Structure 1
């Protein structure tokens, strides 16, 4: 494994434990058995390492989402796969990382928000495709996309998650379950 990649992977693991802000280059160097000087040969700053971690994570998610979209499965299976895939990605995601981005690295948080918005549009695209094929009710794709994105931004955010003692995975799964199945109990439908 190349030194640069080793640094990024080690920082990713360190930040999962301590958050981006709490993880230090000193600790990164110690865990990698290398000097800070070596790290700074590959990265100009801690922020550049954080950007590399984000880029790597977003690339992994992009590949997974595109694989699901490109599959020959029906729209219900695609949505189920989409939710399962993102839930697995969020399972190991420390909410403190999101909070650190929002608070200490706002430009990077904006990139994450833009990325999330693009992925939600993919999900809405599956729903529209499904409604044309009779799997889902007919719906206005603009409203579907806006409401789903607003729900994700309101609930899968560090403040909400930490204040309500949730995990990012739990927050996302609950939004998606509510969005897809509603809140009415099956027995209540008569």
Structure 2
């Protein structure tokens, strides 16, 4: 039995039904004792922290690949970086994020710290784009705060009964489009 196998089963449970599964449910699915699961993870919260760590590591890796892609323009890199999510969106579904915040505040806090602090690459990209003229001059700190504020509002909406099943990916695309392109129609040639 491997730690990765347990994480894969937990990921499947999150996708299937959110965070309401128990360690006992997980052990039954894996055909092992609950004690064995607890040998790898001292608590369900520790298991969820490891799941989140894997998702965040994937985002960091994808961002590094994006930033090193010399065939993309700076505006294209910026757009892609701002909508980047892990391939496995189980924990990043809007309803799941609401559950995570409510029932697992320590795991939520880990995600919150990542969102608030993981801006060095994007700040550098913006500054490079401004210096080259590919981006207009604007206050990067305000931009980051508007993005973070918008992201948090998107993540809060399921708890308030809205979004009608929209995914975080779709909502994030819409927000980034407005942030980068504005809401006014483009003027003629």
TM-score over 0.5 for the alignment?
Answer: yes
TM-score normalised according to structure 1 size: 0.85
CA pair 90-40 structure 1, distance change in 2 beyond 3 A = closer
Residue by residue over 1:100-123, the C-alpha shift from the partner in whole angstroms, topping out at 9 and shown as x without a partner, is 221111122121111112345543
Gaps of 5+ in 1: none
User: What is the CA-CA distance between 1:181 and the residue it aligns to?
Assistant: 0.7
Runs of 4+ in 1 over 6 A off after TM superposition: none
Q: Which residue of 1 aligns with 2:39?
A: 41
In the TM superposition, what are the counterparts of 1:41-190 in structure 2 within 5 Å? 41-72=39-70, 73-83=72-82, 85-86=84-85, 90=89, 93-120=92-119, 122-157=121-156, 159=158, 162-165=161-164, 166-186=166-186, 189=187
CA–CA distance in structure 1, aligned partners of residues 132 and 92 of structure 2: 35
More helix by share: 1
Residue by residue over 1:141-165, the C-alpha shift from the partner in whole angstroms, topping out at 9 and shown as x without a partner, is 1212122221212223354685222
CA–CA distance in structure 2, aligned partners of residues 172 and 91 of structure 1: 16
TM-score normalised according to structure 2 size: 0.85
Tell me if structure 1 keeps the 8 A contact 2:18–2:99.
Answer: yes
Tell me how large the CA RMSD over aligned residues is.
2.4
Gaps of 5+ in 2: none
Tell me if structure 2 keeps the 8 A contact 1:83–1:176.
Answer: yes
**Worse-superposed segment, 78-87 or 45-54:** 78-87
Tell me if structure 2 keeps the 8 A contact 1:14–1:23.
Answer: yes
Tell me if structure 2 keeps the 8 A contact 1:75–1:126.
Answer: yes
Tell me if structure 1 keeps the 8 A contact 2:11–2:90.
Answer: no
